[in-house]
């Protein structure tokens, strides 16, 4: 059984800091579970189409500006994040 999973640093820390448990199914699918047993589900894929910034803004409109904070405790700038994602 393979027990390795490639994670970015942020997700690696989230697994440990938030006590998230990963389960791998026989088909290789990995499910993340929070301590109360609920499974974290994937976000649906976003097909950007001709206006990717507008599509991303619509897909994330339910996220308030105070919902996510940066590592240093600052507020997330959705505009800056979208810009960084679209201009690597």
> Which helix or strand (DSSP H or E) is residue 9 part of?
helix 9-17
pLDDT tens across the length of the chain (88 residues): 456 777 778 788 888 888 888 888 888 788 888 888 888 877 666 566 777 777 777 777 777 766 666 677 777 677 777 777 776 5
Answer yes or no: are the C-beta atoms of 78 and 63 closer than 8 Å. Answer: yes
Which has the closest alpha carbon to 48: 56, 40, 36, 60? 56
Tell the burial category of 60 from Cβ atoms under 10 Å away from its Cβ (0-12, 13-18, 19+): middle
State the residue for tokens 């929070």.
Answer: 34
């Amino acid at each position: 059984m393979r027990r390795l999973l490639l994670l970015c640093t942020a997700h690696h820390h989230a697994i440990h800091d938030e006590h998230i448990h990963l389960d791998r199914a026989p088909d290789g699918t990995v499910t993340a579970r929070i301590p109360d047993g609920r499974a974290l589900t994937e976000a649906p894929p976003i097909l950007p189409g001709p206006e990717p910034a507008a599509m991303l803004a619509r897909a994330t409109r339910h996220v308030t500006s105070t919902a996510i904070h940066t590592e240093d405790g600052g507020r997330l700038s959705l505009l800056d994040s979208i810009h960084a994602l679209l201009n690597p």
